Amino acid sequence: MAVVPAPRPLTGVVLLLFVSAAWGSAFPLMKDLILRLPVDDLLAERYTIAALTLLLIRPGCLRGLSPTVWINGIILGVMFGVGQGGQAVALHGLPAAVSGFAVGTSVVMTPIMALVLFRVRMPGRVWVGVLLALAGMTVFTLLRGVGDDAFSLPALWVTLTAAALYSGHTLLLARMSRNGETFNAYALTVVQLGTIGLLTGALAVRDGITLPTGVMDWAGLAHLSVVSCALGFLARSYGQTHVPAVPAAVLMSSQPFWVAAIAVIGFGEEIGWSMLIGGGLMAAAMLLAVPSRTQVDAPDPVRRQLLIVTRRASYVLGELKVKRDDPLKPEGVDPPVDPPVDAKTSCAHTKDCPWRAHAVKGSGEPSLERLMKRATDIVRSQHQSPPGCCQSMTVLGRCLCDLMGRSDTARSGASSCWFRSQ
């Protein structure tokens, strides 16, 4: 049975915001490096170095992996790698603003695909967050100016297809992350990055691979590989175990917000009205997308199975807690009047002293449930108070003083058990 991990929304939000910031920081570096390196070569080098970095950190992470992890990692890698390749090819026929907006539409595609494919219904506030994220992305991309550059309609469709693949990647990763203890996030990330590196490398080797030449270019490639890819994909794999797919897509769609922040802080770009409006919309979308602690994006069969197991466990625990048969006075065996303190340890056979086996742990007295049952039997045995009984406190018609007196009489007879009627 799959074990659904306890959701930690704050942890997941922090990890996914790091992913968005790491991917957002890649745009200025990519924009600078593609002036000297082909896009295909840059993508191949970026993902290959990222996979090798994680593999060097944990060399044995791929040892003994199940076929399921390999298959899942390859499927995720193919989806993301094809999306990256298509986006890179279509970038030659689209302005950067149009390409960024088309890719950003994955934030809308994700809840629609989740509803159609998996019948996952989102709360109303999440839909509002999706619309706000799309509006903020529009302000950051299209409204900041497309320019007079013409764009190709096939290139636009290819970019939208890449956005759909990114949405499917998010949904599948969310479904895989619900496998609990069987979900190996680190190994899955390595397989995934290695697959993307192979796909983009096959696209880049057509005309040879060009490597960076200067120190600054190598430093930029190192940031793209280690921070944006290796750590970014790893944080995403762990973050989506705590945040459902659609809120995760909203949080990761805040890349334009981080791009603008980096441009203002690092490159001294002036803050315009588009940044303020777009940033406000993105911030509101992220707040609405944060899931509650009780929200778990688990498949319906898993939920039903967990409910069945929970009910069964509650029933079994209830049966263990409430003793149906009272073994304090077994047939043919008289309990000792004054049992020794170490009678529990000296009793070799449970059948010879069964009242000991059912005593409260650490003491020689019966359980509280049976004491209450004996007291109730005494109360129900007589409903009329004798003359002269104190009336300070009554229980079901019997005064407390009379109950205590009867229990003392019963104990002085021949038994050390509490509230035992004669």
The DSSP result for 46-76, as a single string, is HHHHHHHHHHHHSTTTTTT--HHHHHHHHHH
CA atoms of 418 and 57, how far apart (whole Å)? 66
Please, are residues 371 and 399 in contact by the beta-carbon 8 Å criterion? no
Per the model's pLDDT, the better-predicted residue between 405 and 167 turns out to be 167
Q: What's the pTM value of the predicted model, to 2 decimals? A: 0.66
Q: Are 412 and 396 in contact (CB under 8 A)?
A: no
Instruction: For residues 232 and 285, state if they share a domain.
Output: yes
Instruction: Give the range of the structural domain holding residue 274, as residue numbers without chain letter.
Output: 9-306
Type of residue found at 169: H
Q: What total of structural domains would you count in the chain?
A: 2
Report if residue 1 sits inside a domain: no
Residues 141, 110 share a domain: yes
> What rounded mean pLDDT belongs to the chain?
76
Choosing from 238, 273, 306, the residue where a domain stops is: 306
Mean pLDDT, residues 124-148: 81
pLDDT band at residue 232 under the 50/70/90 scheme: very high
End-to-end CA distance of the chain: 52
Whether 373 shows a pLDDT value over 60: the answer reads: yes
pLDDT tens sequence across 94-121: 877 788 888 889 999 999 999 999 888 8
Do 90 and 58 share a structural domain? Answer: yes
Mark whether 294 and 331 lie in a shared domain: no
Helix extents (H) in 1-38: 9-33
* Residue bearing the bigger pLDDT, 360 or 27: 27
How far is residue 159's CA from residue 151's CA, in Å, rounded to a whole number? 12
Is 380 in the same domain as 269? Answer: no
DSSP letters, 95-144, are -HHHHHHHHHTHHHHHHHHHHHHH-PPPPHHHHHHHHHHHHHHHHHTTTT
Note the pLDDT of residue 410. Answer: 55
- Does residue 420 sit within a domain? no
Task: Return the residue matching tokens 């205590």.
Answer: 404
Residues 126, 212, single domain; the answer is yes
Could you tell me if 260 and 335 lie in one domain?
no
Same domain, residue pair 182 and 300: yes
182: Cβ–Cβ under 8 A, 6 or more apart, which residues?
Answer: 2, 66, 68
Q: Are residues 160 and 296 in the same domain?
A: yes
**Looking at the domain assignment, is residue 104 inside a domain?**
yes
Residue 1 has pLDDT above 60, yes or no: no
Select from 274, 306, 338 the last residue of a domain. Answer: 306
Burial class, 362, CB count within 10 angstroms (exposed 0-12 / middle 13-18 / buried 19+): exposed
- Examine the domain organization and report whether 19 and 160 are in the same domain: yes
- As a whole number of angstroms, the distance between CA 143 and CA 137 comes to 9
pLDDT computed for residue 409 by the predictor: 61
Percent of the chain's residues with pLDDT above 90: 33
Cα–Cα distance measured from residue 159 to residue 86, given in angstroms and rounded to the nearest whole number: 7
Nearest alpha carbon to residue 86 among 168, 206, 166: 166
Last residue of a domain, one of 306, 340, 365: 306
Residue 40 lies in a domain: yes
Residue 324 or residue 10, greater confidence:
10
Q: Are residues 277 and 387 in the same domain?
A: no
Q: Are residues 274 and 339 located together in one domain of the fold?
A: no
Query: Do the domain assignments include residue 311?
Result: no
- Two tokens, residue 86: 């298509």
Q: What's the mean pLDDT in 144-169?
A: 82
- The answer to the question of residue 185 being in a domain is yes
410 alpha carbon, distance to own chain's centre:
59
The distance from CA 88 to its chain's CA centroid, rounded to whole angstroms, is 32
Does residue 251 lie in a domain region? yes
Q: So what's the pLDDT on residue 193?
A: 96
Q: Provide φ and ψ at 6, rounded to 5°.
A: -65, 125
In a domain, 418, yes or no: no
Cβ contact 367:323 at 8 Å? yes
